[in-house]
Amino acid sequence: MSDREAPSSGCGPVVQLVRDGQILFAPALPVEVLRQFFTSRRAAIISETGFSTGRQLCRLFSVHRDHNEIRFPAGLVPAVLAACRTAGLSVRLNWSLQEMLPVVGPDGLDRRVRMIRTGAPLPPPVATSPRGPAVLDLVRRHDRGLVRYDPAAVDVAAVIAEIALAWPQMSVAVVCDRAAETRALRDRLRHLGLADTIASASRNRPCTGDAGRVIVATPVGLAGDGVDLAWRQIVIVVDALDALGEQARYCLDHALRARVYAMLPIDARPSPHEWDLLRMRFGFAELVVPAPGLIERPVTVEWESVRCGRGPDLGADILAVKRRGVWHNGQRNRLVAGIARRVATGSPDDGAAGAGTLVLVETVAHALALAGRLRGWSVVSSLPVIKDGLTASQMAAIGAGASPFSTAPFPAIVTFDGLARYDLAAVTAIVRADAGTGLPPLPPGRLGAEFPAPPLRLVDLDGDSHPLLRRAARQRRAAYVGRGWFAPGVDPVEGRAARFLGTRPRLKEGNK
């Protein structure tokens, strides 16, 4: 048995957690910890008054009173550790470790190979590909994870082949939903250099002989005698949502020694309940692959205060609030200009941003108001601008970024449509001054970059006095975390685990 001390800020009782296979075993935990591991789903409700649908609470753990223990899926380990730390508990995490496992070779001799401890990083791959180093890095550093990809640009078979070829000493099981998919993927993997791949399609075509190092199978096909799922070291699910079915969950639970990964299209929209189930199975490590050889560039979010004191009553009309409280608010614009200059000049306290700094606004009117305080900054918009009544300095600012055929200038104040003119690889920092809701126009395809990619610095503004603007800031915060954009220095796995805990359904006092 090997153990380690999990980082803990608590000084309370020591909690011993044991990780074994796909299960995390825990003793009886406090109620305040367990209350954070419920999910809700829509379910049918039959009552005396008739049939209806409503919210049904479900536990994300199981209770075994005979052994006085609680069992969590292994994917929830980061969340369980965070919840225990928040409750003031000192945590010690153990895992079962069998250094040497017997393997019978094709010649009948009892060979022994050293198994890699579940949860520990893999050794560097023996084969690398310029198309997928980020995927290999995910597999090497995390024992489970999600790979989100653009199905129009990324070949799933190529990703699977890269993983299998990178660690030729490890056995791989690939899970498809239908038998026809297993045969097609088997042929594709053979074409990509995995000649030892076969397909175990279904219960009607079980694998009874030696399955080889790489096998493609349906969930039922994994139960074949020749598959030896309990001894497989890497399991890859072609579509993560297919792993939520009862048969798939049952089979994956028997992958006792496997690192588990899944592919999920970028355009997939799982429900909140499905996201909870995905986290249970595949954990909180995540990678976005918009194109072969590219990853989604990480974005770090910083917040600056633009507190201007209590302004005049602007009512509840959002257009009037933005016009007077944002676009033509001189005090706010002065603070925004100071923040933009500090980000662009790269002072030692704020980090270097170089010349690739942009200020993002909603309208040309707001851009011109800021241009009066940011001398030498261009105004960039892809839409025609009515120039009647503009001053000479405003005309010069618009003219510097007007031509769609010239290189987009830096530094600049850009509208949402003007941001489309920029190659985001050249942008180092964006100061968001629009006070809107949701995400800026930065889809994964536009944030594609080679691995490893330097983070894009996003500086947002908080502290506006009007309730509508404060609510918009809260919505932006939630949208950033939902996209996987965190503050500098925050580990993405821990950040997603914290968001998971923060979005749990509220329980009544009687629920335990």
The CATH number assigned to the domain holding 124 equals: 3.40.50.300
Q: What is the mean pLDDT of residues 34-59?
A: 85
Instruction: Give the span between the Cα atoms of 500 and 86, in whole angstroms.
Output: 14
pLDDT of residue 8 exceeding 60, the answer is: no
Q: What is the mean pLDDT of residues 51-76?
A: 87
Q: Which residues contact 142 (CB under 8 A, 6 or more apart)?
A: 259, 283, 285, 493
What does the pLDDT read at residue 48? Answer: 77
pLDDT band at 131 (very low <50, low <70, confident <90, very high): low
What does the pLDDT read at residue 461? Answer: 93
pLDDT band at 119 (very low <50, low <70, confident <90, very high): low
Higher pLDDT, 113 or 77: 77
Q: Any idea what DSSP says for residue 113?
A: E
What does the pLDDT read at residue 197? Answer: 73
Instruction: Give the span between the Cα atoms of 383 and 262, in whole angstroms.
Output: 42
* Structure confidence by residue, pLDDT tens digits, 381-438: 876 665 656 676 666 666 655 555 456 678 899 999 889 888 898 999 999 999 999 9
What does the pLDDT read at residue 9? Answer: 46
pLDDT band at 104 (very low <50, low <70, confident <90, very high): very low
* Structure confidence by residue, pLDDT tens digits, 170-212: 899 999 988 889 889 989 999 888 887 776 655 666 665 667 8
Question: Range with the lowest mean pLDDT among 130-139, 364-373, 378-387, 393-402?
Answer: 393-402
Question: Range with the lowest mean pLDDT among 31-35, 101-105, 211-215, 298-302?
Answer: 101-105
Q: Which of 292, 314, 335 is the last residue of a domain?
A: 292
pLDDT of residue 448 exceeding 70, the answer is: yes
Q: What is the pTM of this model?
A: 0.85
Joined tokens for residue 399: 């003219």
Q: What is the mean pLDDT of residues 369-386?
A: 82
Instruction: Give the span between the Cα atoms of 396 and 281, in whole angstroms.
Output: 56
Residue 280 sits in the same domain as residue 146: yes
Joined tokens for residue 13: 């009782």
Residue 268 sits in the same domain as residue 309: no
Domain range for residue 204? 100-292
Residue 490 · residue 302 · CB < 8 Å: no
pLDDT band at 505 (very low <50, low <70, confident <90, very high): confident
Residue 41 sits in the same domain as residue 145: no
Instruction: Give the span between the Cα atoms of 210 and 433, in whole angstroms.
Output: 62
Residue 331 sits in the same domain as residue 440: yes
Residue 115 · residue 108 · CB < 8 Å: no
In a domain, 439, yes or no: yes
Number of domains comprising the chain: 3
Joined tokens for residue 67: 């052994």
Alpha carbon distances (Å) from 28 to 73, 90, 270: 16, 14, 32
Nearest alpha carbon to residue 122 among 167, 80, 84, 86: 167
Check residue 402 and give left, alpha or beta (phi > 0: left; psi -120 to 50: alpha): alpha
Q: What percent of the chain has pLDDT over 70?
A: 79
Residue 170 sits in the same domain as residue 202: yes
Residue 322 sits in the same domain as residue 368: yes
- The burial of 404, by beta-carbon neighbours within 10 Å (0-12 exposed, 13-18 middle, 19 or more buried), is given as exposed
- Secondary structure percentages of the chain, helix, strand, coil, to 5: 30, 25, 45
pLDDT of residue 319 exceeding 60, the answer is: yes
pLDDT of residue 373 exceeding 70, the answer is: yes
pLDDT of residue 256 exceeding 50, the answer is: yes
In a domain, 507, yes or no: no
Nearest alpha carbon to residue 243 among 207, 215, 280: 280
Residue 231 · residue 113 · CB < 8 Å: no
Instruction: Give the span between the Cα atoms of 305 and 387, in whole angstroms.
Output: 33
Strands 90-95 and 14-20: parallel
Question: Range with the lowest mean pLDDT among 122-126, 147-151, 301-305, 360-364?
Answer: 122-126
In a domain, 209, yes or no: yes
pLDDT of residue 152 exceeding 50, the answer is: yes
Instruction: Give the span between the Cα atoms of 432 and 473, in whole angstroms.
Output: 11
In a domain, 508, yes or no: no
pLDDT of residue 270 exceeding 50, the answer is: yes
The residue ranges of DSSP E strands in 327-445, in sequence order, are 357-361, 378-380, 412-415, 429-432
